[in-house]
Amino acid sequence: MTALQHLATRYDVIVVGAGPAGMGAAVGALEGGVDRVLVVDREIEAGGILNQCIHSGFGLHHFGEELTGPEYAQRFLEQLLERDIEIATDCYVLDVAHDRTVTLMSPEIGVRRVAAGSVVLAMGARERTRGAIRIPGSRPAGVMTAGLAQRLVNQIGVLPGRRAVILGSGDIGLIMARRMTLEGIDVPGVFEIMTHANGLTRNIVQCLHDFDIPLHLSTTVVEIHGRDRVEQVTVAPVDDRLRPDLSRARTIACDTLLLSIGLIPENELSQKLGIRIDPATAGPVVSSAMETSRDGVFAGGNVVHIHDLVDFVTQESLLAGESAARFVTGRRRPADNIRLVAGSNVASVVPHTISSDSDHTVYLRVRRPLEKSWLRLGDVYERRLRYVVPAELVTLTVRPRFLERFHGDSLVIDIVPRDEPGRYEE
């Protein structure tokens, strides 16, 4: 997309990754007042995972209409091209140094060092694999992540097999159940170890029910069989402590096992850079400006925490890009003065700190589903929540007026059952 030979030696902002987060950060940087922005991606084109997510359901929040993944990506890409943002594709970022020198490598230019006023990390996430959940059995071909199958089917034009069992009820797995069925692959069932489905109800209905694909809850794959290729898998129900009951195991003939068992933020570069990582999100600890613990290094999107909607990735990375530009032009916002702490039934909180002088969007991931709960921010604010599930982020806008009478330096966020009246109820 960009002739790499014309690469400058210095940019105001360099963005690592040209997926939705990277493209959002680049646009945000320009809007934040800089003009020399470079976006680097190891793929042969910008767009990231959106290019293989050909189904619709993206963009309702950001564009106000329902788009497919490729359409969402291309709309953003057009904004980048209109604004002369440089995009280096087929290019790896090998290293980001403490002085923000970025080392690139590509077949076209070899290894090159480029200086950056600030850096935005937008590397996204990777799928968890078989190793992450240690499925016993042999190691034949045909075991792959749902996202890899999606790329094979939707971009490369290769079908992953003829009969595919899906483990995990995440949205990518559900989407692939439908996609493979439409391509003539038999899907005997989706198996989920938890008592509840991980994906959106919409996908349960439109990807499984519409095609009579059964969803087996509290059931998991306990063994993979086959020498060169998967021949069958053994599935078994699990108890309330997730232990499989092998006396009730059964085998299912298949040549493919798709895994849709979660995403992990991709933070090798961040770790090399010595950035503080939050064990709860597996992503960088960030301020309300999306700045990491390293001066001038910002982050946004799935590299920080796993989002459910691309629209929120965009929102967060526009902010990361704007902050990166402010860093370069010397217009940084005042430092945060309040630390946010994950409390009862809250698995993670992003950002990790906020300031009391402006509005902040805070993303929360709950641990357990709860019907009718209170969302409480220390003892300064509370709100009723109708229904929370781990699969859907809860968003909270913290406003300066909540904090008018607050003089502490940390606030605990709880999401607790609403079996007691609210603090401020009559």
Partner 1 sequence: MRDAPERITHYLCIGCPLGCRLEVEEDESGAIVEIRGFSCRKGKVFAEREHTDPRRMIATTVTVVGGRWPRLPVSVTEEVPRDRMWDVVKALRSVVIDAPVAMGEVIVADVAATGVDVVATRDMPLAEIAR
Q: Which residues bind partner 1 (CB under 8 A)?
A: 44-45, 51, 54-56, 66, 68, 70-71, 73-74, 107, 153-157, 179, 182, 200-202, 204-206, 209-210, 386-387, 389, 391-392
Q: Where are the beta strands (DSSP E) in 288-393?
A: 297-299, 338-342, 346-350, 353-354, 360-366, 370-377, 381-388
100 versus 179: smaller Cβ distance to partner 1: 179
Residue with Cβ nearer partner 1 (52 or 355) = 52
Determine the Cα–Cα distance for residues 396 and 132; give it in Å rounded to an integer.
32
- Minimum distance, C-beta of residue 424 to partner 1, in the bound complex (Å): 25
- What Cα–Cα distance (Å) separates residue 321 from each residue in 18, 122, 153? 13, 10, 33
Choice between 107 and 136, CB closer to partner 1: 107
Q: Which two tokens stand for residue 323?
A: 């902050």
β-pair partners for 125: 265
CA 379/CA 185 separation, integer angstroms: 54
Nearer to partner 1 by Cβ, of 56 and 218: the residue is 56
Whichever of 78 and 357 has its CB closer to partner 1, that residue is: 78
> Cβ of residue 289: shortest distance to partner 1, in angstroms?
31
Q: Residue 204 Cβ, how far from partner 1 at the closest point, in Å?
A: 7
Rounded to the nearest whole angstrom, what is the least distance from the CB of residue 187 to partner 1 in the complex? 15
CB of 165 to partner 1, least distance (A): 22
| C-alpha separations of 298 from 22, 83, 91, 120, 362 in Å | 11, 21, 20, 5, 17
Looking at the Cβ atoms of 70 and 351, the one nearer to partner 1 is 70
Nearest to 54 by CA among 198, 160, 165, 183: 183
Min dist CB 245 to partner 1, Å, is 27
CB neighbours of residue 88 within 10 Å: 26
State how far the Cα of 184 lies from the Cα of 182, in Å rounded to an integer: 5
